[in-house]
């Protein structure tokens, strides 16, 4: 008797799903209107441009009235171009060094900050370290162009004080990438620690106490307890960075100049120069599509890897 009652109740709950579609939709009628504006924005700025990818299979310049279908010719032209492969190579070099530097410096700094127990000092320090993150790349480039300037710049001022010749850092092929990496660190080192500091506060204190009783010293505890505890966080950050590896654009764009094009031209700036400046829409769109496809493949691989290691994907 009792059982049937339970079953009845269960049926009552289920019936919500069994209702006719329109009735269920009616219950949520306002929701559709709530999502509509968002959908329209995505439609105009995201979905329709995706259809525009077809440009990469056409011959299209500002003077062509009707784009002419040329199949894979743009891609052929791209794949025999040395300049294109140079930009792929530069992208990989600049981004991968960025990723390695970013993870090592941020984890290291987070460990150092975590050792500081003076609350007010810690708060002040964190506030200062986060500041550069909020300054736009355009302004960061402006600041560092002046600081690194060969005539009046701060750094060359120091060099001259030591009797060295001034160096034109941002126009010197040997120095440009180093400058970019350092500026990237200036802007990102503090902000990147937030996620690790949050992970560090979640490390189980009992583990440390147990290890201390067992005679482990501080270095051993960091190596065997702290780092493994924040390893999942490091992995997530690493995976996200890998997914974005080809996307680097704005920092390079604002610091680049013609003198250092050979070491600084990345896929993003190549696409911009060919497309916007030279108006070769077809070839540029093809290069963009190449980048997007590789990125999607990377995201998928990386997401599957994370599913295997962590048991769940980053997306979904």
Q: Is 93 left (phi over 0), alpha (psi -120 to 50) or beta?
A: alpha
CB of 189 to another protein, least distance (A): 8
Six-digit token string for 213 = 């009783």
Q: Does 8 bind another protein (CB under 8 A)?
A: no
Q: Does 10 bind another protein (CB under 8 A)?
A: no
* Number of residues in the chain: 316
**Spatial separation of the C-alpha atoms in residues 81 and 76, rounded to whole Å:** 9
> Per-residue string for binding with another protein, 66-95, x by CB under 8 A?
------------------------------
CB 237 within 8 A of CB 103: yes
CB 92 within 8 A of CB 245: yes
**Spatial separation of the C-alpha atoms in residues 227 and 292, rounded to whole Å:** 34
The HSE-up count of residue 7 (CA atoms within 13 Å, CB side) is 4
Residues 228-247 that bind another protein (CB under 8 A): 233, 236, 240
DSSP 57: G
Using CB under 8 A, which of 69, 79, 121, 223 touches another protein?
121
CB of 296 to another protein, least distance (A): 6
Using CB under 8 A, which of 11, 39, 89, 309 touches another protein?
39
Six-digit token string for 52 = 């525009």
CB of 290 to another protein, least distance (A): 9
Residues 196-215 that bind another protein (CB under 8 A): 198-199, 205, 208-209, 212
CB of 3 to another protein, least distance (A): 25
Using CB under 8 A, which of 7, 10, 24, 96 touches another protein?
24
CB of 2 to another protein, least distance (A): 24
By the 10 Å C-beta count (0-12 exposed, 13-18 middle, 19+ buried), 246 is classed as buried
Residues 246-305 that bind another protein (CB under 8 A): 249-250, 253-254, 268, 271-272, 275-276, 281, 284-285, 288-289, 291-292, 296, 299
**Spatial separation of the C-alpha atoms in residues 45 and 39, rounded to whole Å:** 10
Using CB under 8 A, which of 61, 68, 142, 304 touches another protein?
142
CB of 27 to another protein, least distance (A): 7
**Spatial separation of the C-alpha atoms in residues 63 and 41, rounded to whole Å:** 29
Using CB under 8 A, which of 131, 178, 262, 297 touches another protein?
131
């Amino acid at each position: 008797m009792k059982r049937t009652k339970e079953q009845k109740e269960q049926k009552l709950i289920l019936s919500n799903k069994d209702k006719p579609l329109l009735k269920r939709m009616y219950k949520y009628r306002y929701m559709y209107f709530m999502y509509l504006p968002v959908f329209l924005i995505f439609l105009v700025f995201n979905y329709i441009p995706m259809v525009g990818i077809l440009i990469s299979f056409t011959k299209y310049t500002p003077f062509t009235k009707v784009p002419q279908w040329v199949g894979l010719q743009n891609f052929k032209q791209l794949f025999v171009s040395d300049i294109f492969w140079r930009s792929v190579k530069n992208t990989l070099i600049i981004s991968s060094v960025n990723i390695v530097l970013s993870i090592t410096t941020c984890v290291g700094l987070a460990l150092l900050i975590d050792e500081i127990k003076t609350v007010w000092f810690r708060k002040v320090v964190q506030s200062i370290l986060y500041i550069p993150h909020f300054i736009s790349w355009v302004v960061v480039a402006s600041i560092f162009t002046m600081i690194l300037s060969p005539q009046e710049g701060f750094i060359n001022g120091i060099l001259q004080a030591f009797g060295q010749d001034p160096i034109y850092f941002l126009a010197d092929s040997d120095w440009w990438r180093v400058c970019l990496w350092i500026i990237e660190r200036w802007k990102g080192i503090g902000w990147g620690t937030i996620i690790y500091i949050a992970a560090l506060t979640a490390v189980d204190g009992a583990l440390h106490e147990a290890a201390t009783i067992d005679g482990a010293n501080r270095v051993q505890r960091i190596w065997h307890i702290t780092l493994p505890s924040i390893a999942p966080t490091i992995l997530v950050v690493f995976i996200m960075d890998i997914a974005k590896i080809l996307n680097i654009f704005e920092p390079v764009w604002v610091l680049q100049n013609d003198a250092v094009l050979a070491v600084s031209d990345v896929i993003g700036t190549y696409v911009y120069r060919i497309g916007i400046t030279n108006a070769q829409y077809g070839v540029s769109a093809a290069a963009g599509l190449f980048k997007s496809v590789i990125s999607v493949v990377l995201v998928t691989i990386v997401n599957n890897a994370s599913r295997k290691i962590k048991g769940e994907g980053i997306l979904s």
